[in-house]
């Protein structure tokens, strides 16, 4: 079969036209805009748990302060008797310290040259209508990946914690073969029960979580086969929630789980206290970590006259934050939980 070329006196076979215009030899129409569906790969937003471990706390300025109270002061029995004409006893606040911190800017740009912009706007380009939005979302995922790494670095080293707040399961790992005398439910529940702090959250990797979900301890029957949900594991332990880290980072050319094993801790579980709204609860547990933040995400299209003859457009996203661990006394690290 022959077909005429628009605006030309030439003809060619249908197979050659297919090659020229990149028509698909399938029942589907060819669309360049679909290519990014199969080639783009990045962490999903739900893979990140930095917001779960160190939740955002808004601050109105680039500098912020928080009060570090003496850890025993809230448990002191003080004299509060007041006679008809006596003075009210005064509480000594000298044991509290105001700690000052400063926000840090974290953001990225993506450049669109004039030629790229013209090509994307051309009627025949088939560029997705939300091309800029998808680039902005990609930049957000990269900024969040860096935030995830910063939080991981704050919590995964046993040396940061008091000795009493680290439990090393080397030799009695949950999945040791032959089975060791290590019951995941008993180990974790006992740490929570014996702690002076109100641990109400747990953070771990998807690998460890997958094991706990299939553990006979949480299935309730040593002969059972199956899996329970993370919410069920949390409920069994009396926790308010579990943060399961599923994000990956490119280390030396290989995708490596950010919440995966480390040289110092192996596969680990973090038990911690979390209170995002201190005055909205009748049990004011302390907060292990938080993230000071001014405003929300910043996103903008910027024009630069200094790059390229016709200038260059930039998409910028970022945020101003600072991750803070208030006290490592408010968490417990269980290390080497898997072989």
- Rounded to an integer, the average pLDDT of 54-66 is 90
HEC per residue, the chain: CEEECCCCCCEEEHHHHHHHHCCCCCCCCCCHHHHHHHHCCCCCHHHCCHHHHCCEEECCCCEEEEEECCCCHHHCCCCCCCCCCCCCCCCCCCCCEEEEEECEEEEEEEEEEHHHHHHHHCCCCCCCCCHHHHHHHHHHHHHHHHHHHHHHHHHCCHHHCCHHHEEECCCCCCCCCCCCCCCHHHHHHHHHHHCCCCCCEEEEEHHHHHHHHHCHHHHCCCCCCCCCCHHHHHHHHCCCEEEEECCEEEECCEEEECCCCECCCECCEEEECCCCCHHHCCCCCCCCEEEEECCCCEEEEEEECCCCCCCEEEEEEEEEEEEEECCHHHEEEEECCCC
List, for residues 264-281, the tens digit of each pLDDT value: 999 999 999 998 775 555
Is the pLDDT confidence value at 30 over 50? Answer: no
Is the pLDDT confidence value at 36 over 60? Answer: no
pTM: 0.79
Instruction: Name the residue ranges covered by the structural domains of the chain.
Output: 44-73+91-335
Cα angle 259, 260, 266; round to 5: 120
23 band by pLDDT with thresholds 50, 70 and 90: very low
pLDDT above 70 covers a percentage of the chain that reads: 77
For residue 194, CA distances in Å to 93, 170, 186, 226 come to 29, 21, 12, 30
- Rounded to an integer, the average pLDDT of 135-156 is 94
- Would you state the torsion angle of the CA atoms of residues 278, 282, 288, 294, taken in this order, to the nearest 10 degrees? -20
69 band by pLDDT with thresholds 50, 70 and 90: low
pLDDT at 238: 95
Lowest-confidence region among 115-119, 142-146, 256-260: 115-119
**Residue 334: CA count within 13 A, CB half-sphere:** 25
134 band by pLDDT with thresholds 50, 70 and 90: confident
For residue 160, CA distances in Å to 152, 167, 245 come to 12, 13, 20
Is the pLDDT confidence value at 26 over 50? Answer: no
Lowest-confidence region among 16-30, 71-85, 127-141, 230-244: 16-30
pLDDT at 221: 60
Determine the Cα–Cα distance for residues 21 and 30; give it in Å rounded to an integer: 9
Q: Which fold does the domain 44-73+91-335 belong to in CATH?
A: phage-related protein like fold (3.90.1690)
């Amino acid at each position: 079969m022959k077909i005429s070329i628009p605006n030309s006196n030439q003809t060619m076979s249908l197979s050659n036209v297919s090659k020229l215009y990149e028509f698909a030899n399938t029942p589907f129409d060819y669309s360049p805009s679909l290519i990014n569906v199969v080639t783009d790969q990045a962490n999903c937003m739900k893979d990140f748990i930095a917001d779960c471990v160190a939740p955002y706390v808004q601050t109105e300025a680039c500098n912020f302060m928080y009060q570090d109270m003496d850890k025993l002061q809230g448990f002191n029995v003080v004299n509060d008797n007041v006679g008809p004409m006596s003075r009210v006893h005064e509480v000594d606040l000298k044991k509290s310290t105001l700690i000052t911190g400063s926000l840090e800017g974290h953001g990225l740009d993506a450049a669109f040259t004039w030629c790229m912009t013209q090509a994307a706007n051309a009627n025949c380009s088939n560029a997705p209508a939300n091309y800029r939005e998808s680039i902005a979302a990609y930049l957000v995922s990269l900024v969040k990946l860096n935030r995830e790494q910063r939080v991981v670095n704050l919590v995964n080293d046993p040396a940061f914690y008091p000795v009493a707040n680290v439990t090393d399961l080397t030799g009695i790992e949950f999945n040791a073969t032959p089975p060791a005398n290590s019951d995941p439910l008993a180990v974790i529940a006992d740490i929570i029960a014996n702690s002076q702090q109100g641990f109400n959250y747990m953070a771990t990797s998807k690998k460890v979580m997958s094991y706990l979900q299939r553990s006979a301890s949480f299935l309730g029957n040593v002969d059972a086969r199956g899996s329970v949900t993370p919410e069920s594991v949390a409920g069994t332990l009396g926790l308010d929630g579990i943060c399961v880290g599923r994000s990956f980072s490119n280390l030396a050319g290989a995708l490596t789980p950010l919440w995966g094993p480390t040289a110092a801790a192996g596969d680990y579980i973090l038990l911690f206290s979390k209170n995002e709204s201190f005055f909205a609860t009748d049990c004011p547990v302390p907060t292990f970590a938080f993230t000071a933040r001014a405003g929300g995400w910043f996103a903008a299209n910027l024009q630069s006259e200094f790059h390229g003859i016709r200038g260059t457009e930039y998409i910028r996203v970022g945020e101003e934050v600072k991750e803070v661990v208030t006290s490592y006394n408010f968490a417990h690290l269980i290390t080497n939980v898997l072989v």
